[in-house]
Amino acid sequence: MTMIKATNITWHEGHVSRAEREKLLNQKGALIWFTGLSGSGKSTIAYTVEHALVHRGHLCYVLDGDNIRHGLNKNLGFSAEDRKENIRRIGEVGKLLVDAGLITMTSFISPYRADRQTARDTVGKGDFLEVHCATPIEVCETRDPKGLYKKARAGELKGFTGIDDPYEAPEKPELLLDATNLSPQECAVRVIALLEGAGKIPALKE
Amino acid sequence: MTMIKATNITWHEGHVSRAEREKLLNQKGALIWFTGLSGSGKSTIAYTVEHALVHRGHLCYVLDGDNIRHGLNKNLGFSAEDRKENIRRIGEVGKLLVDAGLITMTSFISPYRADRQTARDTVGKGDFLEVHCATPIEVCETRDPKGLYKKARAGELKGFTGIDDPYEAPEKPELLLDATNLSPQECAVRVIALLEGAGKIPALKE
């Protein structure tokens, strides 16, 4: 016979609320949506923010091509329809992570304004913070960390954002960063200030 | 000019590891996959576990029809193909939540063995804990909390699991629960013991 030791446990009906999880984490759920050209600094800044926040005891998670395109969205290609569905699913997963209380960051080019608006509407006002990595294409192309611009210029990659596919810049992003003359650390400080200003994490006491 | 105050921040390269997040949370990521007939107790047990764990300071999240079918999977129906994709996406989202360090619970009938095996393979050995809510159909049908069995018997619902669609019971679930004579609390205690035994959360000190 199994002994049931239910002491020290409080039983409740219904769901645990987002507010209860946020209290446990000492933070409020948020989705920081990085958008910008390939090479504009999105992922580097996101990971820099992640390290700084975890160091401060906050729970973060980054969604990017590595964990999304090879997982949830591995059955999607790069047609217009599939790109749209790609961003839709990322917005929906972001919403779940925000509801779970996490400071969530997404790092995708996400070139189309309408798709980003869908994500914003899904996640909801106040929880969606759009960060435009507005590093000029000349700078991105000079950096070209993955050699993608070179391939696109050579015609080996078709539909490459900024070359033969448009990038629709955000009109009113919550934050605009140009990484031309800013280090990832300097950019991260601005993102963290955005989170503090939005009341998502407590400001550091001096 | 914006003052950059980067003191008290440690900068790192690359991703924050799952282990670092788990250390922060004092728990290890896990996916508890509840499977069983409609009315077998899946959701009630999951929410009871969630409350108990949050009370112990652990971060949990429940994926169920409410937050999945109306969000990420709202573009899926109930064809065989769509049911399979439904479970595939839930497994992939579960994997992300486990990587984020959360004790995650999924509450879906998930009637097909092959689909659950896909989810198990996706999430990975040691992180996937299958809980079969094996309450007999007679008991589920007597309870019928949503009136679905009545509709299915009347022919108003087609393809209803246990009536005119099969339920393939797990062969080796990590835990088997029959809620006929057990309260949700008694079931929850067993699920929590499973998590403790798997080293996912520390056992309560007496």
B72/A93 Cβ within 8 A: yes
Q: Would you say residue A15 has pLDDT above 90? A: no
Give the E-state strand segments of A52-181 in sequence order: 60-64, 103-107, 128-133, 175-177
A12/B51 Cβ within 8 A: yes
pLDDT score recorded for residue A8: 45
B72/A9 Cβ within 8 A: no
SS3 helix, strand, coil % of chain A, rounded to 5? 45, 15, 45
- The arithmetic mean of pLDDT across residues A126-151, rounded, is 95
- Distance from the Cα of B134 to chain A's closest Cα (Å) equals 18
What amino acid positions of B are annotated as catalytic residues? 110
Residue B96: closest CA among chain A residues belongs to which residue? A67
**Residue recorded with tokens 């003191």:** B7
What amino acid positions of A are annotated as catalytic residues? 110
Residues of B in contact with A72 (CB under 8 A): 89, 92-93, 96
| Pick from A101, A27, A6, A24: nearest CA to B52 | A6
Q: Between A4, A20, A204, which is nearest B54 by CB?
A: A20
Residue B24: closest CA among chain A residues belongs to which residue? A57
How many CB pairs (< 8 A) connect A and B? Answer: 135
CA A52, CA B11: separation in Å to the nearest integer? 6
pLDDT score recorded for residue A204: 83
Determine if the pTM surpasses 0.90.
yes
- Distance from the Cα of B48 to chain A's closest Cα (Å) equals 7
Residues of B in contact with A62 (CB under 8 A): 15
List, in order, residues 6 or more apart from B84 with CB less than 8 Å away: B112, B115
Q: pLDDT tens digit string along A79-101?
A: 889 999 999 999 999 999 999 99
Neighbour-count burial of A30, counting CB atoms closer than 10 A to its CB (0-12 exposed, 13-18 middle, 19+ buried): buried
Query: Residue A97 is encoded by which pair of tokens?
Result: 């992570």
A59/B101 Cβ within 8 A: yes
Q: pLDDT tens digit string along A151-188?
A: 999 999 988 999 999 999 999 999 999 999 999 999 99
Buried b (16+ CB within 10 A) or exposed e, A78-117: eeeeebebbbbbbbbbbbbbbbbbbbbbbbbbbbbeebbe
Is ipTM over 0.85? yes
> Measured at the alpha carbon of residue B161, what is the angle toward residues B158 and B166, in degrees to the nearest 5?
110
A48/B11 Cβ within 8 A: yes
- Distance from the Cα of A154 to chain B's closest Cα (Å) equals 30
- The arithmetic mean of pLDDT across residues A110-116, rounded, is 95
List, in order, residues 6 or more apart from A142 with CB less than 8 Å away: none
Residue B19: closest CA among chain A residues belongs to which residue? A54
A63/B9 Cβ within 8 A: no
- The arithmetic mean of pLDDT across residues B173-193, rounded, is 96
